[in-house]
């Protein structure tokens, strides 16, 4: 039997570990050399680099619909804290530095969260969808992702009108699991983000036209039947293409996923299964 980590002993040790990690992040924010983006502008930058929208209320197994409605409220509260942020050359975007903690005092409600690989609920739940949207837009740009966490070891829900490849999401937790990217270009960027009754919508805009276009593709997607269950597998690549010539400049592997399926296997398409047990 493996020895428990300090944070796993009891709820008190978990809180102590959590506080330690949060303090470490505060110290990093104070003493690191990053210049964090903090300027907002209502003036829309002229070039649309990329745009995307994601459905707020999705079919997620037997998840309580009320948690989805609460998530919609949480996203609405968060939107003005990020909308119109300007990211100048050498500046770093930090989601939690802009948004701050999600507490009931600020109006946040209980939404869906993932804890220890399991579905749970917590105040401010649903923020992953916010950073998922931002991450997907940043993947279609020359901006450099410097902090990104994900849930790629598990596949929690069957697909429902999936718009982007599995395994391209984010995992965040105030404040020690952050989502950050840095502008190492000589261009200036802006994130515009808003909600409708049905969708979270975003635009990545910039001051000058981009030289290249960016395309994220999925390859080698299948389910493997293994000794302890089914696993979802795929590879996510990003292609960089010169707009003027149409030539492929680079194709990089972003992530290779091997994720245990946690839902009813009947949702898996039989033609996607490979038996490797």
Structural domain includes residue 236: no
Structural domain includes residue 220: no
Structural domain includes residue 126: yes
Count the domains in the chain: 1
Strand order, beta sheet including 85-87 = 39-40, 85-87, 189-195, 199-206, 47-55
Residue 111 structural domain: 35-211
Structural domain includes residue 244: no
Structural domain includes residue 255: no
Structural domain includes residue 44: yes
Question: What pLDDT does 6 receive?
Answer: 67
Question: What pLDDT does 113 receive?
Answer: 87
**Secondary structure in 3-state letters for the chain:** CCCCCHHHCCHHHHHHHHHHHHHHHHHHHHHCCCEECCEECCCCCCEEEEEEEEECCCCCCCCCHHHHHHHHHHHHHHHHHHCCEEECCCEEEEHHHHHCCCCHHHCCCEEEEEECCEEEEEECCCHHHHHHHHHHHHCCCCCEEEECCCCCCEECCCCCCCCCCCCCCCCCECCCECCEEECCCCCCEEEEEEECCCEEEEEEEECCCCCEEEEEEEEEEEEEEECCEEEEEEEEEEEEEECCCCCEEEEEEEEEEEEEECCCHHHCCHHHEEECC
Question: What pLDDT does 90 receive?
Answer: 98
pLDDT tens, the chain, 277 aa long? 567 766 667 778 878 888 999 999 999 999 999 999 999 999 999 999 999 999 998 766 666 788 889 999 999 999 999 999 999 999 999 999 999 999 999 999 999 887 766 778 899 999 999 999 999 999 999 999 999 998 778 898 888 778 899 999 999 999 999 999 999 999 999 999 999 999 999 999 999 999 999 999 999 999 999 999 999 999 999 999 999 999 999 999 999 999 999 888 988 988 889 877 5
Question: What pLDDT does 163 receive?
Answer: 83
Structural domain includes residue 243: no
Structural domain includes residue 22: no
């Amino acid at each position: 039997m493996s020895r428990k980590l300090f944070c796993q002993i009891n709820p008190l040790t978990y809180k102590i570990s959590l506080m330690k990690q949060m303090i470490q992040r505060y110290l990093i924010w104070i003493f690191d050399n990053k210049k964090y983006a903090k300027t907002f502008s209502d003036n829309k930058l002229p070039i649309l680099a990329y745009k995307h929208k994601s459905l707020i209320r999705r079919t997620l197994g037997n998840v309580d619909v009320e948690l989805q409605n609460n998530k919609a409220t949480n996203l609405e509260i968060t939107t003005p804290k990020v909308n119109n942020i300007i990211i100048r050359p050498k500046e770093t975007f930090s989601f939690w530095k802009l948004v701050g903690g999600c507490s009931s005092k600020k109006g946040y409600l209980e939404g869906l969260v993932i804890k220890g690989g399991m579905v749970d609920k917590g105040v401010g739940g649903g923020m992953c969808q916010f950073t998922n949207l931002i991450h997907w837009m940043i993947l279609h740009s020359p901006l450099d992702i410097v902090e990104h966490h994900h849930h790629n070891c598990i596949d929690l829900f069957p697909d429902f009108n999936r718009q982007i490849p599995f395994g391209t999401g984010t995992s965040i937790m105030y404040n020690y699991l952050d989502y950050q990217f840095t502008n190492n270009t000589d261009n200036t960027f802006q994130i515009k983000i808003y909600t409708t009754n049905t969708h979270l919508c975003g635009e990545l805009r910039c001051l000058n036209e981009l030289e290249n276009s960016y395309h994220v593709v999925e390859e080698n997607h299948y389910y493997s039947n293994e000794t302890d269950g089914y696993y979802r597998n795929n590879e996510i690549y990003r292609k960089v293409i010169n707009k003027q010539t149409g030539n492929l400049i680079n194709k990089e592997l972003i992530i290779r996923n091997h994720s245990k399926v946690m839902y009813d296997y009947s949702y898996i398409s039989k033609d996607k299964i490979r038996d490797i047990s």
